[in-house]
Amino acid sequence: MENQLFKVVLNHSDEIVRLWMDEVYKNREKDYTATISNELFESTNREFVNVIFSSIENHGQTNGIENFAERLIYLGWPLSYLTDGMQVFRRVTVHYILKQLDAIDVEMCMEIISGVDHWIDPIINQLVNEYSGSWEHTVSLQKLALQELSAPLIPVMDNITIMPLIGTIDTERAKLIMENLLNGVIKHRADVVLIDITGVPVVDTMVAHHIIQAAEAVRLIGSTCILVGIRPEIAQTIVNLGINLEKFPTKSSLKRGIETALELTNSKIVSISDNQQGIEEILDSLDRERGK
């Protein structure tokens, strides 16, 4: 039976392709591919139908589908183009075969449908797998990229280190922040570490709780933590929430945080030009002494 079907479909492939093309064009008007040029749409359709037929001919043993799907993914065609196309192909083929037969009973009809499904379903599965595989790949890459951004620690001066935080803080990231902070403080021998939350969009109790815990842990290993970059609206929500941030110093900007950090480490930034002036004054006075 299956071989018979096989022959019918292959012998009348031109007819089926024509019917399929008509259907696909009809669908086109109402959907996503409207922005694609006619030539490209036409050639992609041809290729698509060739891929389907070569898969049927080779009993699914072909890597044409893989290559085709890969190229469409690369060009950004939606998956629905392929699934719609396959559904249309199934409908057209079943219709066509049924029409060729004079007398049909239910059993035969069922057999034809399951025979066609047998060709179509593996192709659909493979296409969907290719697409979802590519999405998963993208997501995992982005996750990695995000992780790399998540909690950097920057030593700026002897004993002073900054951790700038940008974006939403979730449980996983909070854990990373804590680990990096403690490791970094010990590695850089920091006396003061500044946590900059300018780029954190929302500070709720969970975020505050993690920051408080991190600051407490930093205190335990003998350093001081300063929370900087508290925007006015964040300050108001923290007050409304009733969160107590009294245990460690907080500052509005990184600049003021560094000033405090310098005070805490007994250091000072001195402008060189001022210094030179001082030296010149001394030389001047020496000259004057000599002149006397």
Partner 1 sequence: MDFQSCVTITKEWDIVGARQLGRDIAKKIGFGTVDQARIATAISELARNIYLYAGTGKICFETMDNLNSKGLRIIAIDNGPGIQDLTQVMTDGFSTSGGLGAGLPGVRRLMDEFDVHSQEGEGTEINVVKWLR
Chain contacts with partner 1 (rule: CB under 8 A) = 168, 170-171, 201-206, 208-209, 212, 232-234, 236-237, 240-243
Q: With H, G, I as helix, E, B as strand and everything else as coil, classify residue 287.
A: helix
CA distance 8 to 91: 15
State both tokens at 207: 């975020």
SS (H, E, C) 87-156: HHHHHHHHHHHHHHCCCCCHHHHHHHHHHHHHHHHHHHHHHHHHHHHHHHHHHHHHHHHHHHHHCCCEEE
User: Smallest distance from the beta carbon of 139 to partner 1, in angstroms?
Assistant: 12
State both tokens at 204: 């709720």
Instruction: Return the number of the residue (118 or 231) whose C-beta is nearest partner 1.
Output: 231
Angle between helices 106-150 and 79-100 (to 10 degrees): 170
Q: Which residues pair with 71 in a beta bridge?
A: none
User: Smallest distance from the beta carbon of 162 to partner 1, in angstroms?
Assistant: 24
User: Smallest distance from the beta carbon of 201 to partner 1, in angstroms?
Assistant: 7
Torsion angle in degrees (nearest 10) through CA of 143, 145, 148, 150: -60
Q: Give the DSSP letter of residue 32.
A: G
Instruction: Return the number of the residue (232 or 291) whose C-beta is nearest partner 1.
Output: 232
User: Smallest distance from the beta carbon of 216 to partner 1, in angstroms?
Assistant: 13
State both tokens at 18: 């024509």
User: Smallest distance from the beta carbon of 204 to partner 1, in angstroms?
Assistant: 4
Instruction: Return the number of the residue (78 or 201) whose C-beta is nearest partner 1.
Output: 201
Instruction: Return the number of the residue (158 or 170) whose C-beta is nearest partner 1.
Output: 170
Instruction: Return the number of the residue (150 or 159) whose C-beta is nearest partner 1.
Output: 150
- CA angle centred on 79, ends 73 and 81, rounded to 5°: 110
Q: With H, G, I as helix, E, B as strand and everything else as coil, classify residue 250.
A: strand
User: Smallest distance from the beta carbon of 199 to partner 1, in angstroms?
Assistant: 14
Instruction: Return the number of the residue (158 or 233) whose C-beta is nearest partner 1.
Output: 233
State both tokens at 12: 């009348």
